[in-house]
Structure 1
Amino acid sequence: MNKHNLKALILMAGAIFMAFLMVNVTSQAARMDMVDVSNNNGYMSTAEYVSMRNEFGVKAVTVKISEGGTYKDPYAASNIANVQAAGLYINGYHFARYATKAQAIAEADFAGRTAKAARLPVGAVLATDVEAEEQNNQSKATNDRNNVAFMQEIQKFGYRADIYTSGSWANNKMTIKGKTGWIAGYPFVPAGKKWYTNNNAWQWSGSAHFRISYGGFDVSQLYTDYYTAGQKSTVKPTNKNAVKANNQAANKHTYKPSASAKWVKETKTYTLKTAVKLRTGVSTSSSVVAILPAGTTVKTDQAIIKGGYRWVRQPRFNGYGYLVTGPTSNSLEYVKTGVSHTYYTVKSGDSWWTIAKRSGLSMTALANQNGKTIYTTIYPGQRLVVR
């Protein structure tokens, strides 16, 4: 074969292969079908939701309604009204604190009444957000029973029910059946496969940015029409090419493979706030060596982020034991260090800004020293380190 022809063929094949790779990466880009917001995002205007719709193709918004048995999100009503004014489908969620069936029913009644007062329309989804310490301390069977009780009660208010939880908890701490569930799992690598395609929705980012809105947002890709009630939106993005470009940029710049999945030195002494299972390996399916009661002092030598959790290693007389100190999102605090701190108990109406101002700290410094970000939800009764 002529060398020039061969070279041309090779160059052509290479170009085709690169084009295939580009198409493949583009096709794997996760979509921003749904955004969820809470009091942490502050007041959100109709214009902001219109921008999300037109520039990023957002179809639905799920707003926080309530938490536990007493907390009502102060922005729920305005979010619901403004989302509807922007022509987007609206849903709600309740941050669960229940540990028993009776508590689940009581929280569902509270969430349902609060949603009605905030004018969440009948037929919307009112999901239970199950990721708290209260559920981590329960068995899978107990969590399943409680979740079913919550969802059955929610349906009495005319809302459709679903469960939101992390990928590491799905079918581990609770059952999530196919074609149900809203599952969180990230960081997402754009060139990789999409996750949780057998469920209703996949939350693939907790820090997406929109042009005219401040801060980071949780965004999800929808696999079914459950969160859009089987309806096609009557309002379409004004610039489909902009939507495509913006979503590609969000995938490219926001999500990178985690560099934290390595053991790092961490010589610390922890005092357990609650009972924690000590395991033989870095997995929630590893055998349990012992259940360490609250108040136990644990000395560690290394730490790692793996499988959706932050783990520490405890040297023992016959090897090592491993225990969870929290999920990688740091939205929960299972343990505290032995260092003396001053704590502040969050009250209704508090925000990162008000607490930081009172403590003489910046919001970022306050959040960082609590292992969180300024976009992490805080709730009444939670204790934060202020110095």
Structure 2
Amino acid sequence: MVRQFGADVSSNNPPNVNNYARFGSKFVIVKLTEGTTYRNPSAKQQIASAIASGQTPHGYFFAVFSDNSYLAQLNAELAIYQAKALGLPAGSILATDWEVGDGNEVTGPVSANTQAILVSMRMIQKAGYRPMLYSGAYNLKNRVNTSLILKEFPDSLWVAAYPLGNGTAVSQPDFSCFPSMDGVAIWQFTDNWCNQGVDGNIALMDFSKVKSEEVDDELNWHPQVKYNELGQFKINRPNGADLYEDASLKKVVGHRPNGATFKINRAKDGAVCAGTNQWFNQADGLTKINPLAVNPYGKGIAQITADNAWTQNNAKPDTGVKHLEKGSTWHVLGRSGKYLLIGNEQSGKFVDGDKATIVL
């Protein structure tokens, strides 16, 4: 049986993780996000230093969705986006960390807890990553139907159980205390591995190599549009797609190659309009619609495109509250005119939509 040591880290750990390789670590699982807004500021360096020291990087996100499947989707969307932005290879672990804390509750109905977790894991798999579920042994035995999880995702449990309690320095796991559960692929056996103040894990599978999963092209394509633009269309037929005169799709007026993308301004009866007398059959490609263009209460992800973007508390020219870094991403909860709702009064509720794009 394969047994490999590995560490998992967050912003509470050093940005440089190469020291863990000295103790035999073969992989490092890096916290990428939490909930729908937080991104680990050390993740990029932690992934890079893991690679530089011969440790395979993987990722996880701290779930803040409790038993809510819709919030699970939003949590997973941000985690997937950040994994791709940081260059985490397809096939890497992207685990759902579902435990008590930071607003996440585990006391909901077991069926609802399980379904919400499955929503996140299905999205992760569809995006080309390896889904896993992390939690404490008690939660996995009492708060989640792990049989359903394992039926869909075999060997996907990452379980925390510390025989010697919190804070005790441990260098080797005591397998006489191994959590007796089916489907355990990784056991987190201490929160102070080798007295390094880092979580220590023992894997029962080889996670030092990454096997790429098949990536869904639709989830892998993330065009960016203005807040008021309807969306984009991408041809994915090997031989390209015909261009039609109108939405009836009867008269062909041209042809466009595979991979070509177009802004769309209307959709009707299974056809999308890319300009005057320029219609495509939606079956000939991928269509991404911007929900904020058609519904002021729509939700999405915005990426900051300006150096001088600030949050503000009114949907009009106003005093800045917090500076937003160019390139950072934020969950959008609606819009008022061109102002995107991304926060609260303490952090600033809105950002000017002219200083961001919507990531589809």
Q: TM-score, structure 1 length as denominator?
A: 0.47
Kindly indicate which of the two structures has a greater share of residues assigned to helix. 1
Kindly indicate which of the two structures has a greater share of residues assigned to strand. 2
